[in-house]
Structure 1
Amino acid sequence: MPDHATTFSRRRAMGMGAAALLAPGAAFASAGLETIHGAAFGTTWRVTGPAGSGLEALRRPVDQLLAGIDRRMSPWRSDSEVGRFNSSHAGGHAISDDTATVTAAALRVAEESGGCFDPTFGPAVSHWGFGPITGGGATGWRGLALSGGRLTKAWSDLTFDPCGIAKGWALDRLADLAQAAGHADLLLDLGGELAAVGHHPSGRPWQVAIEDPRPARTGLAAALTFEAGAVATSGLRAQSYALDGRTYGHIIDPTTGEPVQGRLLSVTVLARSAMEADAWATALFAAGDAEGPALARRRGLRAVFLFDDNGLRQETTGGADHALL
């Protein structure tokens, strides 16, 4: 990595992996809505529902929920479970049920994506100017194994970075918390990833927009309608820098160990859970121009790919075109 890269913006918490997704005018700035918001994971959270829903009562439980997840899974914290695991020796280490759930999902997506999603690439992410895992160096998700509440690593310098999946899991838990409190119609946003519960107060599904991913461009590239599910976007817009005519992003090509290069600018995934959408958006972007859409089709994933082909080109898989407005 060029020495200049240390001066560029970096992810400050596990929640900063996704490109900005939501256009506020498409969902929040409508009559008849009530919104609460706050900060977590170095980014922001927002819950929107019908006016008069009493969402303010959720504020403290939401903050407590997200703070607890941060204490367990943030690789930025040396005192978190993940931080202690990353600095530990080879062998098995006890982890909580929540961390085990996220780890199991990360390893499953790693296998199903052929390694395009690899939660051991934290040192490579840091090498290129993003992310907190400056120690270690070994990579390869097959060096991790989970069994009976213990996470084992094959080498002492192998690390686990849940940034590409833990925020989605946190958003799912946020939706669970709100529903358990009796809220039936909500749109929830955690750092640009979205989960929908029920419908917009008008009775229609929730509608959101994908920002134009081209550098220095403003405006929207597409609009989506969705309900009872989640949406996540990965791409270059939120976490990247330009140097000597090349753009460097935070998503690593597992075949080269370098930031993904090509015409693909962003991938948006619609899925049943935010954790699934989060991980697969990262995997499909890492897979690249040709293999990304091909992988999405093999896995039956609903995704919207945006390419820079002398103008913005859109490609959809898994019936995602039916969600476009």
Structure 2
Amino acid sequence: MTNSALRPTRRNALGLIGATLVLPQIAQAAATRSIHGAAFGTTWQLVASHHDDLERLRADIDALFAMIDQQMSPWRSDSDISRFNTMGAGRHRADAEMILVATAALDLAKASLGAFDPTVGPLVAQWGFGPIEGGLEPDWRGLSLGESSIGKARDDLSLDLCGIAKGRALDLAVDLVKARGVDNFLFDVGGELKAVGQHPSGRSFKVAVQHPVAARSAPATLRLVDGMAVATSGLRMQSYELADNNYGHIIDPRTRVPANDHLLSVTVTGRDAMIADGWATALFAAGLTGGPDLAESNNIDALFLTRDGAGLSSIKTGAIEGALL
């Protein structure tokens, strides 16, 4: 996931997955200033009060994202996760950050009844969306974690954290900015956002949920209170059409084909961007037949959008209704 991968194609890495939220034009307001950059095959943007000197944070933010890229990008042959994927069965050393994210991924796999599966990477590649080679039999239960190692039960089992790592990057970036003394800001990494404090005008930050169909107006707007993150998974940014069928990047581990249950997008809010990121993926994979029930049983605040004739219909779970404007 180097900067040369910034073309908005379906082969981008962490970046464009789930990037279906629109950052409002608050950076144009007189009360704000922003900085932006490139990471994970997409862009990031930090928006805060015009009183804050944000440029002093740029180098640290870029260094943080470069570290995560080095650890968890399957698009880099020299990354930690790519090296793990080329190793045989057994236990292999891993640093604390990789173990933390892998632990969250396996917890999500269990809670989602396998709808989120961090071993599905080779199937993602088979459908044209990823670089991971390996067995086409996903099995998240074949992964195991220790204090300083990750184990796999089969030689061809691989680990793919793209469905959760960008959210982790956002959480860490927000912590970095807060630690440097900025109290009110909105951070966007490839369409996943997290708010801290308030907009400089004194209100909560607001973001629009992008319409799943291009050139259509936003179907919903969300109010992000202090500490709230939002992530979306959907077909718009990572899909292609073939023989009148639309194929997306999210694989349903049960069918081993791209999720296609008439669902267009799932938006999830929560305090942890990493978990919101993962649940958005899991709920989209579960589809309309299982996603809403799965969200309700796990107390997930989610907005499901699906086609309704020429328009859209929605299903809301948890407290998402209270965040909609």
Match status 1:319 vs 2:319: yes
Q: Deviations over 1:78-113 (max 9, x none)?
A: 111100000111100001101010000000000000
Map 1:202-221; keep pairs closer than 5 Å.
Answer: 202-214=201-213, 216-221=214-219
Q: Deviations over 1:174-222 (max 9, x none)?
A: 00000000000010000100011111001111100001102x3332110
1:194 matched residue in structure 2: 193
Contact 1:19 1:236 in 2 (8 A): no
Contact 2:233 2:281 in 1 (8 A): yes
Map 1:28-107; keep pairs closer than 5 Å.
Answer: 28-107=27-106
The number of residue pairs the alignment matches comes to 316
Q: 1:65 to 1:23 in 2, by over 3 A?
A: closer
Q: Deviations over 1:263-303 (max 9, x none)?
A: 21000000111101100000000000121111111111111
Contact 2:10 2:237 in 1 (8 A): no
Superposed displacement of residue 11, structure 1? 2.9
Contact 1:11 1:130 in 2 (8 A): yes
Map 1:123-202; keep pairs closer than 5 Å.
Answer: 123-202=122-201
- For 2:136 and 2:317, locate their aligned partners in 1 and report how far apart those are by CA, in whole Å: 35
Report the secondary structure of 2:62's partner residue: helix
Q: Deviations over 1:46-99 (max 9, x none)?
A: 100000200110100000010011111111111111000001111000011010
Report the secondary structure of 2:21's partner residue: coil
Superposed displacement of residue 229, structure 1? 1.5
Contact 2:23 2:188 in 1 (8 A): no
Contact 1:168 1:276 in 2 (8 A): yes
- For 2:89 and 2:10, locate their aligned partners in 1 and report how far apart those are by CA, in whole Å: 29
**Stretches of 4+ aligned residues off by more than 6 angstroms:** none
Contact 1:171 1:189 in 2 (8 A): yes
Report the secondary structure of 2:182's partner residue: coil
Map 1:243-262; keep pairs closer than 5 Å.
Answer: 243-262=242-261
Contact 1:185 1:199 in 2 (8 A): yes
- For 1:50 and 1:318, locate their aligned partners in 2 and report how far apart those are by CA, in whole Å: 32
TM-score by length of 1: 0.95
- For 1:245 and 1:13, locate their aligned partners in 2 and report how far apart those are by CA, in whole Å: 25
Superposed displacement of residue 23, structure 1? 4.1
- For 1:156 and 1:62, locate their aligned partners in 2 and report how far apart those are by CA, in whole Å: 36
Match status 1:111 vs 2:98: no
Q: Deviations over 1:236-258 (max 9, x none)?
A: 00100011110000001111100
Contact 1:23 1:220 in 2 (8 A): no
Gaps of 5+ in 2: 1-7
Superposed displacement of residue 225, structure 1? 0.1
2:231 matched residue in structure 1: 232
RMSD: 1.2
Q: Read off the aligned partner of 2:147 and give its amino acid letter.
A: G
Contact 2:47 2:187 in 1 (8 A): yes
Q: State the percentage of identical aligned residues.
A: 51
Gaps of 5+ in 1: 1-7
Q: 1:46 to 1:23 in 2, by over 3 A?
A: closer
2:289 matched residue in structure 1: 290
